[in-house]
Structures are given as structure tokens and as C-alpha cells.
Amino acid sequence: MIWVFKTSVQNKTQARQVAYLLDKLVTTRGKWNFDLDDCDRILRIEYEDLPVEELMSAMRTAGFICEELAG
């Protein structure tokens, strides 16, 4: 399944700051990437059983907005 989130991550440096969170939540069974050129600073995650609430909470704790976009 592909999950799409709007974030407040502005640049590659900030994306690297949350990479450890994403790697931990997605593990080696999934993939994630940012589209920082999009106006919503999109985070796409390909993963079967993503703990969405845990992801959004971890991103908030790291100081970033992360909202799931309806598909």
C-alpha cells in the first residue's frame, strides 16, 4: 500500500533529520521518499502495515507537521 502525507519538511537537511524515524517505522520491508518540490512537501511511504498514528506522532515530536492525505 502507498501512503501519502503532507509535511512541513522544507529541505534535504530536515529530511535527513527524520530519516532514522522513517527507517525505524518502515524497516527494510518498505520504502519512503520526500517530494520537496511539491507545495505540500509530500512524504510517500510504500508499506503494508504502516503505524500511521505512530508515524504522525513521531514526526510531531521531531518538530514537523505530518498529515495523511486522502487518496
Reading the chain (71 residues) residue by residue, the pLDDT tens digits are 999 999 999 999 999 999 999 999 898 889 999 999 999 999 999 999 888 999 999 999 999 999 999 76
Among the four given CATH numbers 3.40.470.10, 3.40.605.10, 3.30.70.100, 3.40.50.620, the one describing domain 2-68: 3.30.70.100
Nearest-angstrom CA–CA distance, 55 and 51: 6
Q: Is the pTM of this model over 0.85?
A: yes
User: Pairing between strand 31-35 and 2-7?
Assistant: unpaired
- Contact 15/9 with Cβ under 8 angstroms? yes
Query: What is the pLDDT, as a whole number, of residue 16?
Result: 95
Domain spans of the chain? 2-68
Query: What is the pLDDT, as a whole number, of residue 36?
Result: 97
Helix (H, G, I), strand (E, B) or coil at 16: helix
- Contact 3/70 with Cβ under 8 angstroms? no
Cell numbers for 64, please give them: 514537523
